[in-house]
Amino acid sequence: MSFDLVMFGGTGDLAWRKLMPALFQAFRHGTLPEGGRIIGVGRDDLSHDQYRALIQSRFEKVELAKRPSAEEFARFAAILEFVRMDLSKAEDYVRLAETLNARNADGIVMYVATAPSLFTNVCEQLAASGLNSPKVRIVLEKPLGHDLASNRAINQTVSRFFAEEQVYRIDHYLGKPSVQNLFAMRFGNALFEPLWRREHIANIQITIAEDLGVESRGAFYETTGALRDMVQNHALQLLCAIAMEPPINAGADAIRDEKLKVLRSLKPWTQETLKQDVVRGQYSAGTSGGAKVPGYREETGVNPQSNTETFVALRTEIANWRWAGVPFYIRTGKRLSGRDARIVINFRPTPHAIFNSNVGVGNRLVINLQPKDGLELHLLAQGQDNRQTRGSASQTLAPVQLDLDFDKRFGSERVGAYERLLLDVIDGRLNLFVRSDEQEEAWRWVEPMLEHWAADTTGPRLYAAGTWGPSASSAMIARDGFCWSEES
C-alpha cells in the first residue's frame, strides 16, 4: 500500500524527538508499508537533501538504540522530502496538493504537529485545496483546546471538512505497550475480570510522576498546567481503560463507546468536593538527582507570581454498579521524587483473618507504565520462621510478589507508543485514538476545577522539588484510611 505522510511542523521538536525516530524504527523493523513517502512541512527554505541532513543530525540526540547507522539512514532518507509552506497562505496548500496528486498514493496522512491555534486554519485550507477526500486521514496532536468551549470549536470546525472516521486525535499514552497489555490482561484472560469490581477492590491509584521540571517549556506550561497537560487526557484515558465494561468486540467504536460511559459516570464536582478532594501544587526550589534546582517561578518563561499548577492530586468515584463506592485517586506532577507512571489496584483484605500479618498492605496488582514496563502481583505467603522448632510452620504471613518485566520478556519485539500509533493511522485503525465526544466529556468533567481555581486567591500549595508533592495529597487519601503506594 502506497502512502504519503505529511508532517506539519516537520522541523519542530516533536517531529525530531518522537515522530521521526518512531517512523525510522518502523522502517528498521520492516513494518512501515513499502511505497511510502514522508514529507516534512515547515517555513524553512530547505531542499530535500538539506532536510535529510537536518533530520540525520537530530538523530544524534535520540537514545543510542534508536539511532540509525549511516547505511540505514541512507535507505530511510530516500523516502524523506521537504515542502516549504506558510500555513497562512492558500497558495502554499495548492502547491502541496499538486505534489500529492502527482503521485496519487493509496492513502494520505496529515499529521498536524503545530500549535492548536492553527488546527482550524489548516483544516479549512486543506479542504479548500481538495485535500480532504476519503483517502485522507488527519492526526491532531494535543492539546485540543484550552477548555470545553475551545475544544468544541476545534471539533466543530474539523467536522465541517472531515468525517469522524478520518480524524485521529492522538494520545501517545494509549500506544504504550503496558496500556495495550492492560486491555489484554482484562479482556483476553479469565483470571482478573471476576475480581474487577467493588466487592473485591478497595481503591485504585493512578500516578504519573516526572522528576524533571518544565525545562525550556516554561512559556508553554504557563498557559497549560498539569490539569490540562496530564489529567484531562492521559490520566482520564488510563482511568477509562481500567474502569470500562468489556466491549462487545475489538472494534474502535465498541471500545470508545465503553470509555465514554465511564467519563459520563464520573461523579460531578460540588463546591465541597472541589475543596476536599482536589489538591493543586507548585514546586519550589529543592534537590533533584543530587543537584539543587530552581522553583517553578524561577524557571525561564514563567511569571514570577505564577499560580500555574505543576501538581494535581484528586479523588473521584464512578457512579455505576461495578464501581460504586470505590475511590479512584489520580496524581501527577513535575519535579517529584522520581519518574514513575503506574496504576495500583489495591484489593480488599480477606473477610476473616486466620493468619497473623505484620504487613500494612495486602494483595495488589501494579501495572508499571514507565520507566519500568510490566506487571507486579503482590501476595502474602507463609515462609519458614527459623525461630520455630524444626518442621513447624510460622503463622505469620510475609509479602511476596510475582514480577513480569515486559522488556525482559519481549525484548526487541517491543513496539514504541508513537511507532504503534503511526502505523495504526497509516493502516486506518482507530482503536487507540480518541473520539470527539470522549474528549468533550473529559473537558466537561475537568472544567469545574479550572473555574474553582480561577476564583481561588490562595493559589497552589508549594512543595519542595524532589518530594512527592504537597502533604495535603497524603492527607486527602488518608481520610479514606489509605495511603499512596510509595508510602505503604
> What residues are labeled active site?
234
Lateral strand order in the sheet of 201-209? 356-357, 396-405, 374-382, 364-370, 340-347, 201-209, 328-333, 311-316, 278-284, 461-464
End-to-end alpha carbon distance in the chain:
52
Distance separating alpha carbons of residues 68 and 58, to the nearest angstrom? 11
In a 13 Å sphere around the CA of 110, the CA atoms on its Cβ side amount to 26
Backbone φ and ψ of 400, nearest 5°: -135, 165
Distance separating alpha carbons of residues 378 and 374, to the nearest angstrom? 13
411 Rama class: left (phi>0) / alpha (psi -120 to 50) / beta: left
3-state secondary structure of 360: coil
C-alpha angle with apex 362: 334 to 180, nearest 5 degrees?
55
3-state secondary structure of 3: strand
Share in percent of the chain as helix, strand, coil (round to 5): 40, 25, 35
Q: Supply 339's cell numbers.
A: 519518574
Burial annotation 326-340 (CB, 10 A radius, 16+ → b, else e): bbbbbbbbbbbeeeb
- Max alpha carbon distance in the chain (Å)? 89
Count of C-beta atoms within a 10 Å radius of residue 350:
12
Distance separating alpha carbons of residues 327 and 434, to the nearest angstrom? 25
Is residue 394 within 8 A of residue 357, CB to CB? The reply is no
Distance separating alpha carbons of residues 301 and 299, to the nearest angstrom? 6
Q: Supply 128's cell numbers.
A: 479548500
431: Cβ contacts below 8 Å, ≥ 6 apart:
250, 251, 252, 255, 424
Burial annotation 26-58 (CB, 10 A radius, 16+ → b, else e): bbbeeebeeebbbbbbbeeebeeeebbebbbeb
C-alpha angle with apex 234: 326 to 475, nearest 5 degrees?
45
